[in-house]
Chains A and B, each alone.
Chain A
Amino acid sequence: TQLLEQSPQFLSIQEGENLTVYCNSSSVFSSLQWYRQEPGEGPVLLVTVVTGGEVKKLKRLTFQFGDARKDSSLHITAAQPGDTGLYLCADISNFGNEKLTFGTGTRLTIIP
């Protein structure tokens, strides 16, 4: 069974600071996705990465996929209160059965 560990579990920082959260898998990812979940809502997809070493940018968010496809990081520049939420990494099975295996999550709070 694949295990996805995210760190840190909780992170609270001031508005304007930079931060990085991590996701490590016990086995090679099929495809890695990052989600953000706000209170009272379901997770919303931020990005999908497939290729080892891939870097994707989404405004102030930078996603990096490890060369060995077993780890990933999410870096946020100049954090804003709207970035507050639960960040989840997930592996999507590519065997046609549409199953997402989620990480343990990082709960991020940005203090105005």
Chain B
Amino acid sequence: KAGVTQTPRYLIKTRGQQVTLSCSPISGHRSVSWYQQTPGQGLQFLFEYFSETQRNKGNFPGRFSGRQFSNSRSEMNVSTLELGDSALYLCASRMLNTEAFFGQGTRLTVV
């Protein structure tokens, strides 16, 4: 079966711009979580969506937001980009109480 698909794979943006990243979960998976991975902070939880509702949110500023559609696809948006937002953004999908499957990530570079 197809895995978790994240688009785009690579992205370069300028400070102050906004960006939208997309995640298509494995078919049948209704939970989608987003993580930020940086060399300094490691892998950090951003938020989790289930059935179009945000169930949990990490300690990130309000510039980071997300949503989930009725087909379980999810998007995350970062507004007013800062240099420190440069990172690998990973999404993971799961069925309830089962293994999380991660996508390959979107590498965001802010210049």
Contact = CB atoms under 8 A, between A and B. Distances in A.
A100 interface: yes
A102 interface: yes
Interface stretch (A36-44, A51-59, A63-71): A36-44
- Residue with the greatest number of chain A CB neighbours at <10 A, chosen from B33, B43, B55, B103: B43
Q: What band does the interface of chain A fall in when counting residues whose beta carbon is under 8 Å from B?
A: 10 to 19
A101 B45 contact: yes
Contacts of B43: 43, 88, 100, 102, 105
A93 B45 CA distance: 12
A100 B33 contact: yes
* Closest 10 pairs between A and B when the two form their complex, measured CB to CB: A42-B102, A97-B56, A102-B43, A97-B55, A45-B99, A42-B90, A98-B48, A99-B56, A43-B102, A99-B45
Interface of A: 40-45, 48, 88, 93, 96-105
Interface of B: 4, 31, 33, 35, 42-45, 48, 50, 55-56, 58, 90, 92, 94, 96, 99-100, 102-105
15 contacts: A41-B105, A42-B92, A42-B103, A42-B104, A43-B102, A45-B100, A98-B50, A98-B55, A99-B33, A99-B45, A99-B58, A100-B33, A100-B92, A102-B44, A104-B42
